[in-house]
Amino acid sequence: MITVFFVLLVMAGCGTPISTGVRPAEYYSADIAEPSVGSLFSADAAVLSDEAIGRILEFDYSPPKLGRIALIPFGREVWSGWSEELSVASDQMRAEVLERLKSSPRVYDVSYLPSILIPEQKSVPHLREAAARYQADLLLVYRSYCRNFERYRFFAANRSKAYCGVEAVLLDTRTGLVPFTSVVLKTFESQQSGTDVNFRETVLKAQLQATTDALAGVVAEIVGFLGRH
């Protein structure tokens, strides 16, 4: 965990992960898996045929027994460019993500996809190709974001109330399926301390801590998903 030099008043609420549920066994019964009619919109066939959609929905997915996971973070970590302290804390956050994923017995290697391999067009087919070139069985793509409640500062100029979230998708390189997604939100209130250069530094530190906690929640959900299969 990063060293916190500001007063963190609250780090609670909205922390329950919203993740993909496990399909029940009865889903694969004949009356569900084999509908009597196909698509009611003929134009849809230009993207995927009814037969292809049927095969995708009927597929009983299981993650690799042992695999490599590559990670791609989307978005920009605004706190990394603020100070060396926050840059180091960001590196530590990413290192902790790798260690937590490695704790799964289904994972033999975890690493961030080298930036030179990240495609300019970040569509699923292009991301899948990049993962295949890296020989990654699974690709974890995540995006972090933070929102400040501006109205809160009207009543307390040296305090901030906001939330940060991390949303993630797990892409299976072989099948192209996205078998698991997760979103975790963390709310926080922070108060400027005497060691902060200004209030922006206070907010950036709070955002980094909240993002670190949210990302840890997402990773825990993914490790749990892999362990259930």
Residue pair 80/89 in contact (Cβ under 8 Å)? The answer is no
Is the Cβ–Cβ distance between 141 and 156 less than 8 Å?
no
Q: What is the pLDDT of residue 36?
A: 56
Alpha helices in the chain (DSSP H): 30-33, 50-58, 84-102, 124-133, 150-155, 199-227
| pTM of the predicted model as reported, rounded to 2 decimal places | 0.80
Partners of residue 221 on adjacent β-strands: none
93 and 135, same structural domain? Answer: yes
Q: Which residues of the chain register pLDDT less than 50?
A: 1-13
Q: Which residues of 45-76 are buried (b: 16+ CB within 10 A; e: fewer)?
A: eeeeeeeeeeeeeeeeeebbeebbbbbbbeee
Judge if 18 and 34 occupy the same domain. Answer: no
Co-location of 81 and 98 in the same domain:
yes
CATH code (residue 155):
3.30.160.150
How confident is the model at residue 208, as a pLDDT? 84
Distance of CA 138 to the CA centre of its chain: 13
Predicted local confidence at residue 157, as pLDDT: 61
Do 36 and 108 sit in the same domain of this protein?
no
Residue 159 sits in the same domain as residue 52? no
Q: 202 and 137, same structural domain?
A: yes
Q: Of 17, 123, 9, which Cα lies nearest the Cα of 72?
A: 123
pLDDT value at position 203?
Answer: 77
Query: Could you give the number of structural domains in the chain?
Result: 2
What domain range includes position 47?
29-59
Locate 3 and state its tokens: 């060293």
Amino acid at 12: A
Same domain for 202 and 91, yes or no, is: yes
pLDDT on residue 87:
81
Same domain? 215 vs 193: yes
Predicted pLDDT of residue 174: 96
